[in-house]
Amino acid sequence: MAANGAASRAAAASALFQVLEQQKSLSQVFPSLTDRLESRDRALAQTICYGVLRVLPQLNFIVRQLLSKPLKKDMLILHSLLLVGIYQLLYMRTSDHAAVAATVEAAVLLKQSRQKSLINAILRNVQRQREQLEAQLCDHPELQHNHPRWLAELIQQHYPQRAEQIMLANNQQPPMWLRINEQRVQRADYLALLEAADIAVQQQSPLATAIQLLQPVDVLRLPHFADGWVSVQDIAAQHAAWLLGAEAGEHILDCCAAPGGKTAHILERQPQAQVLAIDADSLRLQRVHDNLQRLQLGAQVICADATDPASWWDGQLFDRILLDAPCSATGVIRRHPDIKWLRRASDIQALVDLQQQILTALWSTLKPGGTLLYATCSIIPAENSKQIQAFLATHADAQAISLGPQGEVDWQWLPGDLAGDGFYYAKLEKQR
């Protein structure tokens, strides 16, 4: 038990080190670091990683209070291990003894045996000084939102009335949403299956394909998951296929399609559509293939650069295009808290420029009378409403179609709206 406990803490520290010091995404590094752990230990390591990334500024503040001098470069892994230990002591229900013992032993697995006494001493100080440290955190309001300064200021600038609410939502564990495959089962029948499996659900969503679970569960517990009856997809993202409105026989482009949730949903809603799914990332495209195979759906899937249609497009105009554009992902921070620490303010303009290139390139592949649904999982106006305004101003043959709840020409979800992620939609029609 002690060895397993140490292994989960060491894996969490290693993952955090690669995220914070090497700027790698958690989803990129976590699987290989935990593939030999038991499922329970893997889940614990994941919980610790997500938790640390959600409250990182507060944890860093505490580390600074307790270290007499900064750690040397070859000892930086210990900083991540201290984050792991302090998070357990202050934010988890793990017993203090188990948290300290397993974290100290993790230093051995991280080849830092000589520093066991240092780790032990700092964690014991956290135990003794818990109340004083928590009081010190309260004296620093800038630490309470747990966001990088540039992002906090941007949210405050654009959403002054809701900034605190947005940042609070970003730091919460997100709900688990299911998407029913209407080709296999209806929601009422699947709700009965969930009840029989003792999986509790929240109140039903107005979206006919959506079910919110009361608590997240392993997908293998979901009835007929392997048979393609259901997928995991946030309520905000599920609106893409509904808003696109594909019809039988239409030629559809799903651009930046990986990992394939929206591709599959388009085909679940309209199996007779002819869908081409493209993405520039060949590794992530494998997940599109995997999802389509599990759901027993068919689409043409190719690795392609959306900014250069000449390299992949056969000249047949599309009836509808879904552009799930590359973006800052600032609307899904609650699902991917490492976004806060991987993204930089300087990234935004580069993303805006790329979005503009893709929009312009794909517009030429759309039929007159066709529609393009522009989507991002961002809450930054430069990537969303301002991007669409600029496109409309430079394309006389483009007209925005009303799609918001009150007839708005675009739709900005914020994190937590209707229990969903932050998401943006705008629908453009190409004039004949």
DSSP 183-197: TT--HHHHHHHHHHT
* Among 49, 256, 327, 377, the one annotated catalytic: 377
Contacts for 374 with CB less than 8 Å, ≥ 6 apart:
323, 325, 359, 387, 388, 424, 425, 426, 427, 428
> Catalytic: 49?
no
State which amino acid sits at residue 187. Answer: R
* Burial class of 222 by CB neighbour count within 10 A (0 to 12, 13 to 18, 19+): buried
Other C-beta atoms closer than 10 Å to the C-beta of 218 total 9
Enclosing H/E stretch for 253: strand 251-255
Q: For CA atoms 262, 264, 265, 266, give the dihedral sign.
A: positive
Please name the residue that has the structure tokens 């599959």. 264
DSSP summary character for residue 106: H
* Residues making up the chain, counted from first to last: 432
Residue 232, SS3? Answer: strand
Rounded Cα distance between 294 and 261, Å, is 12
Q: At 407, list the tokens.
A: 């007839």
Q: At 88, list the tokens.
A: 């357990």
Rounded Cα distance between 112 and 78, Å, is 8
Kindly report the backbone phi and psi dihedral angles of residue 391, in degrees, each rounded to the nearest multiple of 5, phi listed first.
-65, -45
Rounded Cα distance between 183 and 178, Å, is 15
Rounded Cα distance between 420 and 237, Å, is 8
State which amino acid sits at residue 420. Answer: G
Residue 52, SS3? Answer: helix
Rounded Cα distance between 9 and 47, Å, is 11
3-state helix, strand, coil in the chain (%, to 5): 50, 15, 35
Answer yes or no: are the C-beta atoms of 321 and 372 closer than 8 Å: yes
Please give the positions annotated as active site.
Answer: 377
